[in-house]
Homo-oligomer: A and B are copies of this chain.
Amino acid sequence: MICATLDDGTPDGQLARVSEDRTTCRIAPGMSLQAMLDGAEPAWSGPECRFDPAACLSPLPRAYQFLDASAYVNHVALVRRARGAEMPESFWHDPLMYQGGSDGFLAPTAPIEGDPEWGMDFEAEVAVITGPVRMGATPREARDAIRLVMLCNDVSLRALIPGELSKGFGFVQSKPACAFSPLAVAPGALPGWDGGRLHGALRVDLNGMPFGRADAGHDMTFDFPALISHAAKTRALAAGTIIGSGTVSNRDSDGGPGRPVAQGGAGYSCIAEQRMVETLLSGSPSTPFLQPGDRIRIWMEDAAGVSLFGAIEQEVAAWP
């Protein structure tokens, strides 16, 4: 099953089922994706229409829960190295995860509004939507609870993060609204899905130039079932919970920090990582954070070049 949510002016939008070739769709009139996840049976009685990704909201325009992890521990290790800090050994065994804001996600093509002083960055991620998960669920049970897979642009405000994290309570102001891909796809309809990870290049272009081609199936230290089980240790998770992978990040073949796409590497899934590598190699970063007018595009393709989830395509707008 391939789902999308069309903008019909309501907070939860209109659920649509999209054809396998991603060109047409049918709606289940009056139903939202959350309602389907809650157990309602959709009646796909709408006429077959052309599917227009530009008419889409994020598959869940708002959700009851978004838990975002840092499952690519390579990314965390790089962040620490760039600032000369040691990463605790436990980070390789105990997932890092934060409770993210979920009350209103950006549409896949909505502008990212913010003050350039905040150090705006994108983070390209894979995310899953779960059904209900019982408290104490094992990774095996968690695996069976994965309903849909999508891509995420987890917008981050780099200039606000150090001050906020130093207070000890995680992110609030430094993680504004993020966006998801137009399509949310059932695991069974994704050839690259191995039950826990999604294999394939996560494509990121910045201003039309290739920026990231990291393989989402590589170097993911904790797979989605492990992340979901971690989240469910002390509480049940409701249907419609979104679990994010954190910034996708690949080690270079020599185990090093990797190279930009232009130099034949897999590149990066956020500007901060490219800046960290620049800092490690030359002592200071040279790539600026996002500025008004910058355009970010995030997508994945199958072997035949089909855009699996449609594309997140956002432009940065000055605010206020």
- Would you call A136 an interface residue if the criterion is a C-beta within 8 Å of the partner chain's C-beta atoms? yes
Chain A 86-100 interface 0/1 with B at a Cβ cutoff of 8 Å (1 = within): 001001001011111
Chain B residues with Cβ below 8 Å from A102 are 64-65, 102
A162 to chain B, nearest CB (A): 11
A74 to chain B, nearest CB (A): 17
Answer whether A231 and B172 are a contact pair too, CB < 8 Å, given A104-B236, A136-B320, A238-B103. Answer: yes
Answer whether A99 and B97 are a contact pair too, CB < 8 Å, given A11-B38, A157-B234, A230-B173. Answer: no
Q: Are B67 and A64 in contact (CB under 8 A)?
A: no
> Quick one: copies of this chain in the complex?
2
Compute how far the CA of A258 lies from the CA of B97 in the bound complex, rounded to whole angstroms: 36
- Would you call A255 an interface residue if the criterion is a C-beta within 8 Å of the partner chain's C-beta atoms? no
Interface centre among A70, A96, A168 (most CB of B within 10 A): A168
Answer whether A171 and B170 are a contact pair too, CB < 8 Å, given A103-B65, A234-B157. Answer: yes
In chain A, residues 237-252, which have Cβ atoms closer than 8 Å to a Cβ of chain B?
237-238, 240-241
A61 to chain B, nearest CB (A): 10
- Nearest chain B residue, comparing its CB with the CB of A70: B169
Q: A-side binding surface: helix, strand, loop or mixed?
A: loop
Compute how far the CA of A97 lies from the CA of B101 in the bound complex, rounded to whole angstroms: 13
- Would you call A235 an interface residue if the criterion is a C-beta within 8 Å of the partner chain's C-beta atoms? yes
Compute how far the CA of A167 lies from the CA of B311 in the bound complex, rounded to whole angstroms: 33
In chain A, residues 117-160, which have Cβ atoms closer than 8 Å to a Cβ of chain B?
118, 135-136, 157, 160
Compute how far the CA of A72 lies from the CA of B171 in the bound complex, rounded to whole angstroms: 20
With beta carbons under 8 angstroms apart, the residue of B100, B169, B172, B241 that contacts A103 is B241
Q: Are B238 and A65 in contact (CB under 8 A)?
A: no
State the 8 A-B residue pairs at the shortest beta-carbon distance, nearest first: A170-B170, A103-B238, A64-B103, A65-B103, A98-B169, A176-B235, A99-B99, A176-B234
6 contacts between A and B (CB under 8 A): A62-B64, A64-B104, A99-B170, A114-B234, A177-B235, A177-B236
